[in-house]
Structure 1
């Protein structure tokens, strides 16, 4: 009787332990992998002691033959022991792969290892717990596996290709990937069957792993996310190559989305009867800004070519009309500050404009200086920055048509930023004294200045 009570007590303790092993990790969801693995291993050790007390060896259990209910209870405990053992093995395997200086396994590899362990556990339960020989079962399952393999050949190819991709790891979620066939974007998911890529057009491309394993790939995120690109422009062959290259270089330097290191470069790549081809090479920090960078660059190219009087070539036409360079009066008309003035007032101010040439590195205005003049950029690129020279923060880059120093000259406040020439710059200067002389001739300009000052204050 004492032995029976001991056996029943051990079965009860084993049942409680099995229930705790299942319930406790779910109640404490924030447990780490280490905590879950240690809990299962500890439970497995205690459960092994209890199973040995009741059934002997878990590999060769001795069940009660006389009582059906007790025998079923013992079989449940034995099945639970195998399941806890499988979970402990899976947890330790994952920790070993992760922390023993080996590459972190992907979700596919992790699921594959778990599947193999659970399959072995299922066969062990069938053989040791229910005393069913697995030899015939394995033979039958082999035939079934062949039939399923033939029926699921395409899906299995995707699965095993996904395993190969998981082991080799040519890309990871978050990487910018180009796939042969014109698909390019950011990897958002890698699963058993396919790789999901968010394209730059806002779509999601789902590519089977068997296809992506055979395709040529370019991972733009390795070793860095820096992207090297180029844009070609065909110009009138009558214009000087040096002048064309300087103008295109100034256009590229005016772009905020293009990287300064490496700096943009321009090369003449082709010459034909209907024009000369120039290639602008540049870099961006990420593929996500490619479209925006191209748009910015082409806009700057158009603006710089117009103000330099350089025409775009037309295919099949050796002669194209010359582009007219905007005059100083026309630039005043297109200016945000002076475009609201009457034509005669702009002509009066244009007569007081003086042309200045600024070399690379020289400043047109400096932050904190008293305003003495404003400038309208005729050609070249100017960098607008604030802060000291050792802690310079670039705010903007200005090309032809932009104006500098107007706010300070109108309001009388010191210059709020520093403007430095990034390329050789030609600008029109309008001095404070010249504006005062023009106001004496036309007092309406003073009223316009006061109105503009009020707009700025508002």
Structure 2
């Protein structure tokens, strides 16, 4: 090798190495594409520098040179091979960045990066130190066998992790459940294990080897929606067809389940003691399953009461409608009793005494709406408090050229309380989704009751505040933020509207 170590080649070499470290490791650490370009420029410049000075980094050096020359050549060749490996590693990381798989391809990327650096190390051994690679493998075979036996479990987890990443039966963020009952959301996958976060916020660590052999259910594929099934038992006092209609109203009035695919009702069995009904539907996400089930159970209870359909084994006062053979006082008595029990089941009227609820129920009027009837228009101010006796109502709002569903009302829900108590407009249009029966309490009836009992304004203010707060969470984007929903402020508005004196 005709090469004399001068200050200039060494200085250029050290300057290139320093510049690459500063740019790639310090300045451009968060810019993968820029780091790749810097590594390519460094590798090309280093190749040009070494060849210009008579050093062929891809060939083992066999000439007799001084110790200083040999030391520099060996160091330069080693850096050259490492530089080439860094270019390939940067390419691998860029491919993963473009695919935007933040975690899924992590194990595969690590395997490729490790293989690249292993190849670079063997190349340094062969071309810098002139040691036959075959000899290295032969001498390390016994050590590899020993390490393989010692790390058998770890290697099993590692290769199982690679297989899971290639097969992708799940991804980070998916909800999965194993055959042994362990279930949770995948929060991390690494070389050895997969981490699940359970519904109780506990971390479950499962070795990849165990996960690769297990039968698992992925609740997040092919989409995030999750199916739920409820079984209810009702007393056989109505025909199965009538029971099915009541349960369809239960599903129709739910705000938690998906409307598509359509939910279904199945009569599972019938006997002298009960009719078993299965309700099947889907929710947008598995985390909503519990709240959706609770809502459906509550709606089933309310719709069954409204339809005079007791649950199996239930012995509660229902809310029967006046029958076709009831006339005059008989029908009026049935309606009044039904209305009184309906008021007792509504939290808004919980502060009232039995006598006050009886007074209200006597003056309530019964309104019937066919399917599709518009009960209240958007932005209208209702002068009566309306209570759903039976059926399902839909509340929608037309905004910015589109109609949006806000909520659905079921038996026991009421509307119009904002208008009758505080002169507030309705936030949406209210339409009957099914045949509906609604009881109406006029503003004059409420005014007469509150004049006899002024303290009722405070109690109604508290209850109305709770209702408006729940409504604000649902439709806060549509209601003005200037509305004051504090109980004291609402009570003042009620007193002002009804011209009441403060209770002393």
Is this a same-fold pair by TM over 0.5?
Answer: yes
CA deviations 1:250-270 (Å, max 9, x no partner) are: 222222211122232211112
- The answer on 1:375 being equivalent to 2:374 is no
Q: Look up the match of 2:292.
A: 293
Q: Which residue of 2 aligns with 1:364?
A: 375
Asked if the contact 1:40/1:88 (under 8 Å) is kept, the reply is yes
Q: Which piece of structure 1 moves more, 83-92 or 381-390?
A: 381-390
SS in 1 for 2:79: helix
Residue 307 of structure 1 corresponds to 306
Consecutive unaligned residues of structure 2, counting only runs of 5 or more, are 320-336, 462-489, 495-504
Partner deviation per Cα, 1:55-98 (whole Å, 9 max, x = no partner): 53212243785643443233222211111111112223444677
- The yes-or-no answer on 1:425 pairing with 2:436 is yes
1:347-375 deviation line (CA, Å, top 9, x unaligned): 22211223233222223222333534332
2:4 is matched with which residue? 4
Which sits farther off after the overlay, 369-378 or 56-65? 56-65
Correspondence 1:50-449 to 2 at 5 A: 50-62=49-61, 65=64, 67-95=66-94, 106-314=105-313, 321=315, 323-325=317-319, 327-387=338-398, 391-412=402-423, 414-432=425-443, 435=445, 439=448, 444=452, 448=456
Alpha carbons of structure 1 residues 329 and 103: separation in structure 2 relative to 1, 3 Å: closer
**Shift of residue 445 of structure 1?**
6.3
Q: Distance in 2 between matches of 1:389 and 1:442?
A: 40
Superposition TM-score, scaled by structure 2 size: 0.79
Deviates further, 385-394 or 208-217: 385-394
For residues 412 and 95 of structure 1, what CA distance do their matches in structure 2 show?
Answer: 62
CA distance in 1, matches of 2:130, 2:3: 26
Asked if the contact 2:310/2:318 (under 8 Å) is kept, the reply is: no
The aligned counterpart of 2:473 is none
Partner Cα distance (1:50, 1:340) in 2:
91
Give aligned pairs, total: 448
Q: Who is 1:455 aligned against? A: 491
Classify the secondary structure of the residue corresponding to 2:309: coil
TM-aligned CA distance change 1:308 to 1:28, over 3 Å: same
Alignment-derived partner of residue 35 in structure 1: 34
CA distance in 2, matches of 1:298, 1:365: 28
Q: CA RMSD in A?
A: 3.3
Deviations 1:280-302 (A, max 9, x none): 11111111211221222222222
Partners of 1:46 and 1:198 lie apart in 2 by: 49
Deviation, 1:159, is 1.0
Report the secondary structure of 1:429's partner residue: strand
List per-residue Cα deviations over 1:15-59 (Å, max 9, x = no partner): 221232223212214553222222112111111122223353212
Are the structure 2 counterparts of residues 345 and 308 from structure 1 closer, same or farther at C-alpha, using a change threshold of 3 Å?
A: same
SS of equivalent residue, structure 1 residue 16: helix
Closer, same or farther: CA 456–183 of 1 in aligned 2, 3 Å: farther
- With normalisation by structure 1, the TM-score equals 0.86
Q: Secondary structure at the match of 1:327?
A: helix
Using a 3 Å threshold, how does the CA distance of structure 1 residues 397 and 104 change in structure 2: closer, same or farther?
closer
TM superposition shift of 1:107: 0.8
TM-superposed CA distance for 1:109, in Å, is: 0.8
Q: Does the C-alpha gap of structure 1 residues 411 and 192 become closer, same or farther in structure 2, counting only changes over 3 Å?
A: closer
Q: Is the alpha carbon distance of 1:240 and 1:388 closer, same or farther for their aligned partners in structure 2, counting shifts above 3 Å?
A: farther
Residue 450 of structure 1 and its aligned partner are, at CA, apart by 9.8
Answer whether contact 2:450 2:457 (CA < 8 A) is retained.
no
What's the CA shift for 1:105? 7.1
Aligned equivalents of 1:34, 1:343: Cα separation in 2: 76
Cα distance in 1, alignment partners of residues 354 and 413 from structure 2: 19
Aligned CA distance change for structure 1 residues 100 and 187 (closer, same or farther; 3 Å): closer
Residue 413 of structure 1 deviates from its aligned partner by 5.2
1:386-429 Cα shifts (integer Å, max 9, x gaps): 33696333333222222222332334555444322223322222
Structure 2 CA distance for aligned equivalents of residues 95 and 84 of structure 1: 17
Q: Which residue of 1 aligns with 2:330?
A: none
1:63–1:71 contact (8 Å) kept in structure 2: no
Tell me how far apart the structure 1 counterparts of residues 3 and 72 of structure 2 sit (CA, whole Å): 17
Cα pair 1:379 1:400 within 8 Å, conserved? yes
Question: Gaps spanning 5+ residues in structure 1: where?
Answer: 315-319
Match in the other structure for 1:317: none
1:213–1:372 Cα change, 3 Å = same
Out of 135-144 and 360-369, give the one that drifted further.
Answer: 360-369
CA contact (8 A) 2:370 2:432 kept: yes
Q: In 2 relative to 1, CA 65–174 (structure 1 residues): closer, same or farther, beyond 3 Å?
A: same
CA distance in structure 2 between the partners assigned to 1:413 and 1:177 by the alignment:
47
CA drift of 1:279 comes to 0.8
Q: Cα 1:322–1:101, aligned 2, differ >3 Å: closer, same or farther?
A: closer
